[in-house]
Chains A and B, each alone.
Chain A
């Protein structure tokens, strides 16, 4: 990592007084910069707040929002909550996987454009099935709409 990267992390660390109790917030903000948590950044944070690397790794891997590998420009969160499930979100997921060539193991396209994540509930149950693209909610999805969505994202690049 470059010097300027540490500078950004230092700003975040200073904002939270290098407080161990704020470690989750600190990692969330660092992740906002890189869209994931680079290993170097984790080691640096551990040293700065005075935590062992293993303890920090334990916290980072416990929560599903922390990513230790890079994510795509567009992160598609496919809701698999109960309401979406009974309105056939499984078909939407399958269509997205087909259109992108991704699957449960491989979650990001090689060009770094699209990541697909399965989330348990987005709390937009009345609009089910739901797919969230970064922070935008796409309601009442179908397999066809899912394919169109991937085409649109590719066109936008």
Chain B
């Protein structure tokens, strides 16, 4: 338990105390217990490791209590290490070695060989092309990354304020309170060039100064943790794995703008984030880092958590504040803008999680440090969620301006199962698709906008040659239809019409004039919708039309889906590679396959429900689709 801290000097003393205790952990095992590794058994490894070490009489520390006990092995359950595909994973310090796909049964060997013997176990190392990579920074997945916002996520126990303090936590808050004037804080943020990471890329410093300019005694800082874009999960990690860094960002925003109340709006699908943030708030309040009279400065900041209830549109600013107020989460006409009249009608600074989590770094290290990475118009780093048909799925943080090629091939390790790259969907339902020809453009706010995509919140879904782009467009349009709040007609009716047309095309009922109709509707929806959800809703369709128009034409004219995704347009047939093993006939749920043993089988198209079970199970790849 951290003592109540009442001055900057006392904070430094506490930090030093925990840092000294941490130093006693001469060997440390940092076990990933992010969502992915938790699902694959990370916690079991955490427990088995402790038990084994204790059985051997080796002192183990799992929490810092501020006392110096003598040398020990530190064991921590940390947040996401990023390489989710290879979980459960762990990192061993001081060597900085990484073990992937660790099983409970490997624990004894890790203790004896690595922790006691100092030896690397090749079998558990990350392997690529027959080569074993030992150290964290040598692994291709990490080599091109720079972890700033996510830096401590894989190192500290998210539930331990002591761990956060041992790494210098809350220094930025103290600096903002005691060494800087509010204008200086805003200047530093403006100078850093940081733009909102939630999608629109609005300059953060500008937003803060607009809120600061109001002399209303009541102002709010609201953190948008309603990360609803399908394919995005970086904010989840920021909230779950390092909640204190987010709290710091909000406290500093409060100091800079004169707000004393903060709200964090977390989506309902993230119960762990709610739990950890609640815990962090209680810890920070007890330690005098939050609440009344922070660090004895006389300044106060109070934090509240609101849990969303499952509505994508609440990621939009005015819908989000309506939801916090206890209303239906529907956007309103602007102006007035949120900075002037936001939550409860008061000036409100609304920022996204990753943006707020970047603040402490900027204040502590300065604007020049922040700008040292990234491009001129898009400074700093950006976290991306890498998912889909790529080898290394997971969470990454890279300098702005990195190319798509570097992300997909160097970090992502290329396409899964040796298939060909087709496209990357970026920016979720508001974004667009990038193709092979966009491989070398810099990924930053402005360059992506030029090619009809957006960084959005940072979801990157990689698609291989077997992904039907018309189906993807329909998929997003269906999502928008369901999530449209229904307030304005262009979005409510327009997206429904677009979805109807796209559905007809994927079912083989499309007409050539549908393509013009889609473009026309898209234009109307874009210019006349009330909020950002509607204004950007047609983007996935427009960008697939721009880059993959020939696939639309094939669906309409030839009634063909080259990827076999659109079931109404595809049929299965068995080629002469068939060895007559009868497996498909046995697996078929509707008895549509017949044939004699050791002879080529055939599928009855009238009975076939196109479930794909036969193709998936065929040992010789004799079943084709299309």
Q: Are A66 and B309 in contact (CB under 8 A)?
A: yes
Q: Are B39 and A127 in contact (CB under 8 A)?
A: yes
Q: Are B459 and A126 in contact (CB under 8 A)?
A: no
Q: Which of A2-10, A106-114, A116-124 lines the interface with chain B?
A: A116-124
Q: Are B388 and A83 in contact (CB under 8 A)?
A: yes
| Shortest CB distance B578–A (Å) | 22
Q: Are B311 and A64 in contact (CB under 8 A)?
A: yes
Q: Are A65 and B309 in contact (CB under 8 A)?
A: yes
A150 within 8 A of B: no
Q: A58-B328, A82-B459, A83-B461 are in contact. Are A137 and B231 (CB under 8 A)?
A: no
| Shortest CB distance B584–A (Å) | 15
A145 within 8 A of B: no
Q: Which of A66-92 contact B (CB under 8 A)?
A: 66, 80-83, 85-87, 91
Chain A residues closer than 8 Å to B99, beta-carbon distance: none
Nearest neighbor of B482 in chain A, beta-carbon distance: A120
Q: Are B38 and A94 in contact (CB under 8 A)?
A: no
Nearest neighbor of A142 in chain B, beta-carbon distance: B616
In the bound assembly, the distance between CA atoms of A137 and B38 in angstroms comes to: 9
B428 within 8 A of A: yes
Count of inter-chain pairs, beta carbons less than 8 A: 143
Q: Are A87 and B389 in contact (CB under 8 A)?
A: yes
Contacting residue for B467 out of A63, A65, A86, A94, CB 8 A? A86
Q: Which of B301-329 contact A (CB under 8 A)?
A: 306-312, 323-329
Contacting residue for A121 out of B230, B425, B485, CB 8 A? B230
Number of interface residues of B (CB under 8 A): 60
| Shortest CB distance A104–B (Å) | 12
Q: Which of B8-16, B171-179, B265-273, B438-446 lines the interface with chain A?
A: B265-273
Chain A residues closer than 8 Å to B344, beta-carbon distance: 21
Q: A63-B329, A94-B611 are in contact. Are A120 and B312 (CB under 8 A)?
A: yes
Q: Are A62 and B268 in contact (CB under 8 A)?
A: no
Q: Are A120 and B230 in contact (CB under 8 A)?
A: yes
Q: Are A121 and B228 in contact (CB under 8 A)?
A: yes
In the bound assembly, the distance between CA atoms of A80 and B230 in angstroms comes to: 8
Q: A24-B326, A58-B328, A124-B35 are in contact. Are A82 and B309 (CB under 8 A)?
A: no
Nearest neighbor of B609 in chain A, beta-carbon distance: A94
Q: Are B35 and A81 in contact (CB under 8 A)?
A: no
A59 within 8 A of B: yes
Chain A residues closer than 8 Å to B269, beta-carbon distance: 119, 121-123
Q: Are B479 and A139 in contact (CB under 8 A)?
A: no
Chain B residues closer than 8 Å to A87, beta-carbon distance: 388-389
B36 within 8 A of A: yes
Q: A82-B428, A83-B388 are in contact. Are A123 and B270 (CB under 8 A)?
A: yes
In the bound assembly, the distance between CA atoms of A6 and B142 in angstroms comes to: 55
Q: A21-B326, A63-B310, A64-B310 are in contact. Are A126 and B387 (CB under 8 A)?
A: yes
B421 within 8 A of A: no
Q: A64-B310, A66-B309, A139-B36 are in contact. Are A125 and B328 (CB under 8 A)?
A: no
A138 within 8 A of B: yes
Contacting residue for B271 out of A86, A94, A135, CB 8 A? A135
**For A63, A86, A139, which residue has the most chain B Cβ atoms within 10 angstroms?**
A86
What is B's interface to A at a CB cutoff of 8 Å?
35-36, 38-40, 84-85, 227-233, 236, 268-271, 306-312, 323-330, 344, 385-389, 393-395, 425, 428, 459, 461, 463, 467, 472, 475-476, 479, 482-483, 485, 589, 611-613
| 6 CB-based A-B contacts, threshold 8 Å | A23-B326, A81-B230, A83-B461, A120-B230, A125-B230, A125-B461
